[in-house]
Structure 1
Amino acid sequence: MKPKVLYVCSEVFPLLKTGGLADVSAGLPPALTALGADVRLLLPAFPRVVEGVTPEGPTLLVPPGGSPGLPAGVGPQATSAHGPTPWLRAGRITESGTPVWLLHAPGLYERGGNPYLDPSGQPWPDSAEQFAWLGWAAALLGTGLHAAWLPDIVHGHDWHTGLAFAYLRELARTAEHRPATVFTVHNLAYQGVFNAGLRPRLGLPDGLFHLQGLEFHGQISFMKAGLKYSDAITTVSPTYAREITGAEQGCGLDGVLRQRQAHLHGILNGVDDAVWNPQTDPLVQPGFDAGHLDGKARAKARLQQRMGLEPRADALLFSVVSRLTEQKGLHLLPAVVDELVQRGGQLAVLGSGDAAIERALRACAQRHPAQVALTVGYDEALAHTVIAGADVILLPSRFEPCGLTQLYGLRYGTLPLVRAVGGLADTVVDCSLENLDDGSASGFVFRDLDVPGLLSALRRAFALRRRPVEWRAVQRHGMSLRFGWERAAADYLRVYTAVLPSPGGP
């Protein structure tokens, strides 16, 4: 089976990245291609994306809903505020050669900074239109806008693509070609919920606005549209797939997910070995591997120097590379810093987010100069420096659909300290006595989202470090683990096969 896959997303590394979605969009399509799929990305034409794409191939107009040949009232309505009709431009990502369609919509995407939030941290006022047009373009491509390439699968990622599945449902009533559909949830907490008064502008028929449709507490939910109208739903780890069918992690959509549980699949994300490999990483040289860790010791010294920490080879160096939010459990971190330092540890934090957490961590750094360092913001090169140089990476998350940072830590011999949720539970094995004995231990795992739980895991890290032979064994085991995209791609191909019509079938 060699399906044609239209892969719809809002960001891709290295062109535009706000989180793990961009890493997935960089790693999964090439892995699918390597297994024989014909994959083309569809992305909004944000400036940083346009800069990284070489135009190649046709330009297509994207007619608005209600145009001749399209079902009346379906799809976004063109408005004078957004200028001419949107269009699609074919091309390839310059660095990787991955084929893409870029969606240009004057007035919607030509803006710098964060693609989702304005400079004040609020959603852009036209977010609904931005991503309705992305969904509409996906639906039109899926049903034959470019007759020379008809996708077998439309695969949308997160709420930004949710309306694609509602539009496809309506277009399929009259279209000659109807693709199979797969919707991947990367984080159910972000749902794309908008005022119901936008329905006419978004071209959403009244027949879709009900409890069993995309209505959500009197509003429109892009996420719910993807969950209700796709042929299959995937999410980014097996444990998260189970968690989101319950009230605690279901974010108000657990009932929908229970209804569709037979079509829900948990597929663990992968790691791009071309980007995250301690032997070849250009941002971490000299390189190292499990059998030759001199380079890691040098990476630790570089990290201490870079972040103004005391140059102590014997310090147990903890790290954070994350959004500084309660979702990531980082509201707990300031309460354990004093003990961490008293035990001889250091802490390097790279991230930004909740102002109160930032203030608390800044106060910790002032209280413990040269032992605690905070860099507010995100810097890809510094992220590699932190993950390579630290001894332990902290992910005490309230919930974590998959998590990639712990996988990067394992690859670089930086033992993850995690809470047992989502993908963290699927990828990190606690350093309990029995797991140390059978060689399966790869990090430190705690269960209760509270300070005592986090402290207990920190103390186990210090205890293991006092046993250098066992520490090195756990480190080597973690570095030997592989979470490659080829495994995930094979799982996605199985999902594609399940939703495609049988040969010779209807």
Structure 2
Amino acid sequence: MRFSFSKKLKIIHAVAEVSPYSKVGGLGDVGYALPKAIARLGHESIIVTPYYGLVRKKGIKKEKLGYAESIKVGDKEFPISFYKHISIDGLPIYFVVNEELYGAHQAVYRAIDDESLRWIVFNLAVIELIKYIKFEADIIHAHEWHAGLIANYIKTIYKHEPIFQKSVTLFTIHNLYHQGTFFWQHVKKETYDKGTGAPPVDKKFRRYINYTKRAVLYSDIINTVSERYAKEITTPKFGAGLDQYLKRRKNRLFGIINGIDYEIVNPAYDKNVYVNYDVNSLEKKLKNKKHLQKEVGLSVQEKTPLLGVVNRLTEQKGFKLIIEALPTLLKMDLQIVIVGSGQKSFLKFFREVARKNSSKIGVYSPFTEKMASRVYAGSDIYLMPSRFEPCGLSQLISLRYGSIPIVHHVGGLQDTVTNYDPLENTGNGFVFTRYNKDELLVAIARATESYKYKEKWNKTVYRAMKQSFSWELPAKKYIELYLRALKIKNHQKNGS
């Protein structure tokens, strides 16, 4: 693959979460790491995100811009201002300020009746910021549904604005199952968003705006976070009701796997692990295992394989499958540590099982970065049986920490984890293809049996930790995608 970087690009990233300011999940990691990696390639990369109450509490150094206008949605006006902050890596981050919608609340996302209003205002504020600072963007990069209306507005209400005439809009799908402030499966026919024209502003209809659908229809180019997932979402099985629209635009749909920032995600530097280690000091990983076993109340057993799970407690992440497999797992010579927040019924179930089997299962909730790091460092095997997975960052982290992943052969997991072959001594994990309890149990049995053969196992750990999934290559692929999008737009403009 060839990359041409002779043109210095100007890119603006609109994203709901930005680590370390407002991270909720993997989107927050991408929201900072990708712009950072692109900037390191010599391009101008800026970020726009809301100024939540939790950001204010961090007390960051910032400059207030002179903009003081209001954005009208329906019959109500919302005063908007902007803060500019320069990150430790020199990245300009612009915060959208409105006390009612963002500043008065500590949460990034809110389960309220008119949550859609917050994101309508955010999308419009991004556009107004571009105009105000006169940022002649080559690329307006909208991440996930929260920024999904930007292309829609630029192609409708703002279509005659001179500053947007040369800009290309790119929409990144991080998880197609999230399309707005509603569950797409539950939308009734009378509230179904056709996705045409400017987004509705009436409260009765705006709660049903399908942000993702409108982004798919109006963006110049679309990508998702793995090559496999880009293909999967054009099918009814994974398309979440939008497969027909994605299939029509498959020539503008691409997949780029996410990366990991190894300056942050690295057992050699991670301040949260018990003992720092690297690929040349694997004996220290065993110390992490013993510390973890003690902390979560497991019996300290050096030779028993310890399975780690760090994820949202949802059906998508495979917890229903784990529950089905649990009666058999409790009879096997293994231990399990689960760290996460999410569905209350799952948490209640696992806590009850852990109470009755305290030497074999440990549960820690709510999720914390500290405990997540300790599970990655202390576990021998990482369990990630997602039903579907757009990209997945957890398996990439587990590889760097030397916790060998067990994954379902789907999406980004398929693109990053290769099945272990004991005869050839190749592969970096254990993969099952059919999504059922028996297949999962076979994969776990293969992993725990392989763990007994320490010489080969350590070679697998060494191979996993030496792999690089840094942001450098994905950033280059994004630059290539940006250039391709600009080329397409120029051809359309010239009528060729």
**TM-score with structure 2 length normalisation?**
0.89
For residues 78 and 56 of structure 1, the distance between their equivalents in structure 2, rounded to whole angstroms, comes to: 31
Aligned mates of 2:257, 2:426 — CA distance in 1: 19
Q: 1:482 maps to which residue?
A: 468
1:343-382 equivalent positions in 2, closer than 5 A: 343-382=332-371
Answering whether residue 10 of structure 2 is matched by residue 4 of structure 1, we say yes
Superposed, which structure 2 residues align to 1:387-466 within 5 Å?
A: 387-433=376-422, 436-437=423-424, 439-466=425-452
Structure 1 residues 110 and 56, CA, compared in 2 at 3 Å: closer, same or farther? closer
| Cα gap change, 1:345 to 1:127, in 2 (>3 Å) | same
* Counterpart amino acid of residue 91 in structure 1: H
Q: 1:79 aligns with which of 76, 95, 104?
A: 76
Q: Deviation per CA, 1:188-219, whole angstroms, max 9, x where unpaired?
A: 001005699xx9xxxx9984479xxxxx9994
* Structure 2 contact 321–437 (Cα < 8 Å) conserved: yes
Shift of 1:87: 1.7
Contact kept, 8 Å, 2:116 with 2:207, in 1: the verdict is no
Task: Report the Cα offset of residue 329 of structure 1.
Answer: 0.9
Offset at 1:171? 4.2
1:140/1:494 CA distance change after superposition, 3 Å: same
Report what 1:69 is aligned to: none
Q: Which residue of 1 aligns with 2:179?
A: 191
User: How far has the Cα of 1:124 moved from its partner?
Assistant: 2.2
Whichever residue aligns with residue 132 of structure 1, its letter is I
How is 1:22-421 mapped onto 2 (pairs within 5 angstroms)? Answer: 22-52=28-58, 53-56=60-63, 58-64=65-71, 76-77=73-74, 79=76, 82=78, 85-93=79-87, 95-117=88-110, 123-142=111-130, 144-147=131-134, 149-178=135-164, 179-193=167-181, 207-208=197-198, 219-421=208-410
The alignment partner of 1:300 has SS state of helix
Aligned equivalents of 1:359, 1:129: Cα separation in 2: 34
Is the 2:156–2:197 contact (alpha carbons within 8 Å) kept by the matching residues of 1? Answer: no
Check if 1:495 corresponds to 2:481: yes
Secondary structure class of the residue paired with 1:90: strand
5+ residue gaps in structure 1? 66-75, 118-122, 211-215
The offset of 1:228, in angstroms, is 0.9
After superposition, the Cα gap between the structure-2 partners of 1:62 and 1:391, relative to the gap in structure 1 and judged at 3 Å, is: farther
Give CA deviations for 1:468-496 in whole Å, capped at 9, x if unaligned: 12111111111111101011110111111
Question: 1:151 and 1:49, CA in 2 relative to 1: closer, same or farther beyond 3 A?
Answer: farther
Instruction: Note if contact 1:334-1:364 (Cα within 8 Å) is conserved in structure 2.
Output: no
Could you say which residue in structure 2 is the equivalent of 1:72?
A: none
Residues 308 and 96 (structure 1), Cα distance of their counterparts in 2 relative to 1, 3 Å cut: farther
How far did residue 418 of structure 1 move? 0.6
Q: Which has the higher mean CA deviation after the structures are superposed, 174-183 or 47-56? A: 47-56
Q: Please state how far the C-alpha of 1:370 moved relative to its aligned partner.
A: 2.0
Please give the TM-score of this superposition, normalised by the length of structure 1: 0.88
Name stretches of at least 5 consecutive residues in structure 2 with no aligned partner.
1-6
SS at match of 2:320: coil
Query: In the alignment, what sits opposite 1:68?
Result: none
Number of positions where the alignment pairs a residue of Structure 1 with one of Structure 2 = 471
Structure 2 counterpart SS, 1:449:
coil
SS at 2:338's partner residue? strand
Equivalent residue letter for 1:106? E
Q: Which amino acid aligns with 2:348?
A: R
Instruction: Give the superposed CA RMSD.
Output: 2.5
Asked if the contact 2:11/2:46 (under 8 Å) is kept, the reply is: yes
Deviation at 1:153, TM superposition (A): 1.2
Q: Alpha-carbon deviation of 1:246?
A: 0.4
Q: Which is worse superposed, 108-117 or 228-237?
A: 108-117
Q: Match of 1:348, SS?
A: strand
Bigger mean CA offset, 393-402 vs 44-53: 44-53
C-alpha displacement of 1:411: 0.3
Equivalents in 2 of 1:234, 1:269: separation in Å?
11
Q: Which runs of 4+ in 1 moved over 4 A?
A: 193-196, 216-219, 501-506
What are the superposed Cα offsets for residues 257-284 of structure 1, whole Å, 9 maximum, x if unpaired? 0011111110000001011112122222
Which letter maps to 2:484?
A: A
Please tell me the residue identity of whatever aligns with 2:151: F
Shift in Å, 1:503: 8.0
SS at match of 1:333: helix
Report if the CA contact (8 A) 2:53-2:106 is conserved.
no
Shift of 1:114: 3.1
Would you say the 8 A contact 1:267–1:491 is kept in 2? Answer: yes
Say which is worse superposed, 52-61 or 234-243, in terms of deviation: 52-61
Deviation (angstroms), 1:19: 1.0
Say which SS state the counterpart of residue 321 (structure 2) adopts: coil
| In 2, Cα distance between equivalents of 1:136 and 1:452 | 49
Distance 1:364 1:47, change over 3 A: same
TM-superposed deviation, 1:63: 4.1
1:389-439 Cα deviation digits (max 9, x unpaired): 000111111111000000000001100011011101111111234xx50x4
The answer to whether the aligner puts 1:19 opposite 2:25 as a matched pair is yes
